[in-house]
Structures are given as C-alpha cells and as structure tokens.
Amino acid sequence: TGLITLDLGYKNTGATLSEITYLDGDKGELYYRGYPIEQIAEKSNFTEVMYLLLYGELPTQNQFQGFEANIKKYNYVAEEMKKIIDAFPRSAHPMGVLSSLTSALTAFNPKAVDVRSKEDLDHAAEMLIAKFAHLCAWTYRKTQGFSLNHADNNLNYVENFYKMTFRMPNQDFDMNPVVVNALDKLLILHADHEQNCSTSTVRMVGSAHTGLFASISAGVSALWGPLHGGANQAVIEMLEMIEADGGDVAKYVEKAKNKEDNFRLMGFGHRVYKNFDPRAKIIKKAADDILNSLGIHDKALDIAMQLEKVALEDEYFVERKLYPNVDFYSGIIYRALGIPTEMFTVMFALGRLPGWISQWKEMRLMGDPIGRPRQVYKGSEKRDYVDMNLR
Ligand code: CMC
C-alpha cells in the first residue's frame, strides 16, 4: 500500500483548498475573505460577517436586507423540541444540551437534511442560523431554570439573541447598547478560523454526505473540549483559582512549566499562531473598555494582565512562542455581560456557526472526497482465536 507518513494531530497536513479564511501564524494576521479582522471587528456587524463568510462578498444594502429577512422566516423552533429540553437535568452542561438539540433539529426539519442544490444548501444554512440562536438562548434558560422566550422579529440577529436569552416575564427589557455591541464584536471575532478542530470535524462528518445539522452538532462537541473552545471556561476557572490562592501568578507560571504538574496556562498557546493572536489583542482592549463603560471592576482582569506579563517575560513561553489566544480575555467580557461561566463555550459556538456552515458548504460544493485518514498498525501479529474456557 506504499509508504504512509504519520502526522499526529495533523500538525502539518493540508486537508483542503479553501477561499474563506487566511491566517498567518508567524505574523499574527487573520483575514475573512481577504478583509483584515481588525477592520471587520471595528466596522462590520455579525449579520454582515455571516453573509461575507457564506457568500464570499460583503453584501449590498438589498442583499443584506434579503439575508436578514430570510433568516427571520425561520425564527422559530418546533414546539416538540421544548419537551426534549424539559427532559434534561438542570445541571447538564450547556454544550452537551446544545449539541443534542442541534442534532434533534434534524428530526423536525427533514427537508434541510436532503440538500441537493446550492439553493437547498443556502436555505438549510439560513434555517440553522435562525434556529441555533434559539437553541443557545434556550440552553441558558434551561440551565438557569427560566421559561423559554420566543423570537422578536423587530430586532436584528444579535439583539434578538440577547433578548431571547435575558428577557424575564412581565418585566421591561433593557436593550443595553454597550452589551449588544460587545456581543456583536465577540461573535465576529469567533466567526471563522480555518481548519481548527471543530471545523475539521464538521467537514469530516459532512464529507460522508451527512446532513448539515448533524455535522454542526459534531462540531459543537469538538468545540466543547478544554484544549479548543472549552478553554474560555477553563481560563476563568483558572483565574478564580489563582485569585482564591492569594493571586500569586508567578507560582502558576512555574506550575505550567513543570510537565509533571500536568497543568497548562489556559488561554495560552496556539497550533498556528507563534505570535500574538490578533483576536486576543482586540478582545483585551474591548474587555478594558466594556468593564469601564459598565462600571465593573473585575479582579480576574487584573490577574489575567499580570499573568500575561509574567508569562511573556519567561524564557519557557518565549522559546515556545506561547502567547495569549482568543480565549484568554473573552471570558472576562462574557462575565461582565452577565453570562455564566458554563455558557462561555456556547457563546463561542454561536459565533463559530457561520464559519462551520461556510466550510461545510465549500466542502460540499467543491465535491471533496470522504475524509478517511490512514494509520500505521502497531498491534498484535495474526493469531488464532481461543475459546473462552481455555483463556
Ligand atoms: N501552557 C504551558 N505549556 C504549553 C501550553 C500552555 N498553555 N501550550 C503549549 N505548551 C507547551 C507544550 O507543553 C509543548 O512543550 P514541549 O515542547 O516542551 O513539549 C509546547 O508548548 C508545544 O505545545 P503543543 O501541545 O505541542 O502544541 P499544540 O499545537 O499541540 O497545542 C494548544 C496547541 C492550543 C492545544 C496548546 O497550546 C494548549 O493546550 N493551550 C491551552 C489551551 C487553550 O488555551 N486552548 C485554546 C486554543 S485557541 C482557540 C480555540 O481553539 O478555541
């Protein structure tokens, strides 16, 4: 069968051609469809970014309005889904709930499974974009023990998500623009990141011609892990632990260097970036601005900044080119917005959704073959079966 080259963790394997996201890890540069992330984060909005990723170009006014209207057409979720939500214990981790609900959506929207043309594919994408925002908001409501809210079609995508998440019955809802802008920016910064673990999972599952919703459900599960999207939850837990332990950041930097301690500085390091993660730079500044404008002082931000300073001056981190990544400061913003720690990775998933869908769409339209890596076998030689009573 010829020589097989092993590349554990696909550290140096190009799995596809792609036109969506460009990433230069040495320079710390990230472009969506050619547009630098700094410009997009400052000037665009999440709905426009979803359009850009899905269709390849910034929308005209008409295209933007058409896209928003198409999403709003699907701004509901089958009532039966609420029974599934009811059945989960309140203590369930929101990412497990979200992944299950995403897969369950398939049963109630069978047409979206049978995607044959580009038009079918675009409908399935718009449908999932609308319904996934419900699933994220409802996951929060469930785990907090609150009733579920329906969509408000007078609002844009992010405002609607915000209201579905936080509106309490019989109370006026305060659409705080500082919070909405912060959410918008965070979602934009998470929208795509080329062939990361969850996106590769979505493409791999989809390469078997599995439907969009089930492929995305697999992506949610991949994102859940603490080495990937789950790092945003792990960072805040780490910062809280350091604070409770007296705030000695140097002690934890030392601990992270000692392999026997089996402890990593969460929110540090990246497979591709060997320089500052450009998203972390934007988020660090945003965290500072948002805390100031909401009048919040969070000790976790002080600890994070001290930790960053000590780590970046340490030879171990310098040699290995370990810098803060997107997850290092994002949790501080989520917390300031009133989002509980266990929900952080759900926020990442909501942001990453358009990236996953665009990559799935690209893979299907390019007709990529089924993903099927090889292995080097190192198990037992051929041997004969032994009856149980003779073992
Ligand atoms: N703390 C301490 N040491 C580290 C860290 C860290 N956070 N990250 C990497 N290293 C060390 C690692 O031990 C290894 O050292 P050595 O060469 O002595 O064996 C070296 O740096 C290279 O690391 P690696 O594990 O081979 O690198 P990788 O590309 O396989 O892993 C990573 C990348 C992001 C999984 C890893 O840096 C990590 O575990 N970071 C902490 C978790 C985290 O923040 N994840 C979020 C990633 S960014 C956004 C996202 O995907 O959600």
Task: Count Cβ atoms within 10 A of the Cβ of residue 310 and give its class: 0-12 exposed, 13-18 middle, 19 or more buried.
Answer: middle
Q: Is the CB–ligand 1 distance for residue 270 below 6 Å?
A: yes
227 ligand 1 Cβ < 6 A: yes
HSE-CB of 195 using CA atoms within 13 angstroms: 17
- Phi, psi angle pair for 116, to nearest 5°: -115, -40
Confidence check: pLDDT of 117 > 80: yes
The closest residue, in CA terms, to atom 1 on ligand 1 is 264
Instruction: Give the per-residue pLDDT at 113.
Output: 74
**d(Cα 331, Cα 348) in Å, to the nearest integer?**
10
Distance from the CA of 8 to the center of ligand 1, in angstroms?
14
Angle at the Cα of 82 (from 78 to 109), degrees rounded to 5? 25
Secondary structure of residue 21 in the 3-state scheme? strand
What is the atom index within ligand 1 of the atom nearest the CA of 11? 29
Q: Name the one residue in this structure whose structure tokens are 């209207």.
A: 69
- pLDDT tens string 315-372: 999 999 999 999 999 999 999 999 999 999 999 999 999 999 999 999 999 999 999 9
- Tokens 């493409």 found at: 203
**How long, in residues, is the chain?**
391
For 239-289, the pLDDT digits (tens) are 999 999 999 999 999 999 999 999 999 999 999 999 989 999 999 999 988
Q: Map tokens 């554990």 to a residue.
A: 8
Tell me: the pLDDT tens digits for 29-69? Answer: 999 999 999 999 999 999 999 999 999 999 999 999 999 99
Of 132, 321, 297, nearest to 217 by C-alpha is 132
For the entire predicted model, the pTM comes to 0.96
326 close to ligand 1 (CB < 6 Angstrom)? yes
Catalytic residue numbers read 270, 327
Distance in Å, CA 222 to ligand 1 centroid = 17
**What ipTM was reported for this prediction?**
0.97
Which of 359, 362, 353 minimizes the C-alpha distance to 158? 353
Query: What is the pLDDT, as a whole number, of residue 143?
Result: 94
Q: Ligand 1 center to residue 266 CA distance, Å? A: 9
Q: Is 267 in the pocket of ligand 1 (CB under 6 A)?
A: yes
Asked if residue 166 has pLDDT above 90, the reply is: yes
Helix axes 344-366, 212-224, angle to 10 degrees: 140
Return the ligand 1 atom nearest residue 268 CA. 7
Q: Residue 281 Cα, ligand 1 centroid: separation in angstroms?
A: 19
Q: Is residue 352 in contact with ligand 1, taking CB distance under 6 Å?
A: no
Concatenated DSSP letters of 152-168: -TTS-HHHHHHHHHHPP
Tell me 324's DSSP state. B
Residue closest to 95 by CA, chosen among 159, 147, 162, 143: 143
Average pLDDT of the residues in 159-164: 98
Average pLDDT of 104-113?
88
Residue 277's alpha-carbon distances to 135, 193, 268, 324, 346, in angstroms, are 29, 11, 10, 7, 21
Return the domain boundaries, the chain: 21-226+343-366, 231-336
Residue 116: predicted pLDDT: 77
Q: What per-residue confidence (pLDDT) applies to 111?
A: 78
pLDDT at 1: 54
Say yes or no: CB of residue 9 within 6 Å of ligand 1: yes
At residue 125, the pLDDT reads 96
117 dihedral zone (left: phi>0; alpha: psi -120 to 50; beta) = beta
User: Which of 121, 47, 139, 344 minimizes the C-alpha distance to 223?
Assistant: 344
User: How far is it, in rounded angstroms, from Cα 205 to Cα 215?
Assistant: 5
Instruction: Please give the radius of gyration of the chain, using alpha carbons only, rounded to the nearest integer.
Output: 22
For the chain, helix, strand, coil in percent to 5 are 60, 5, 35
User: Mean pLDDT across the chain, nearest whole number?
Assistant: 95
3-state SS string for 182-224: HHHHHHHHHCCCCCCHHHHHHHHHHCCCCCHHHHHHHHHHHHH
Tell me how far apart the alpha carbons of residues 358 and 364 are, in angstroms, rounded to a whole number.
10
Residue nearest to atom 39 of ligand 1 (CA): 227
Domain 231-336 class in CATH:
mainly alpha
Q: Could you give the percent of the chain with pLDDT greater than 70?
A: 100
Superfamily of structural domain 21-226+343-366: Citrate Synthase, domain 1 (1.10.580.10)
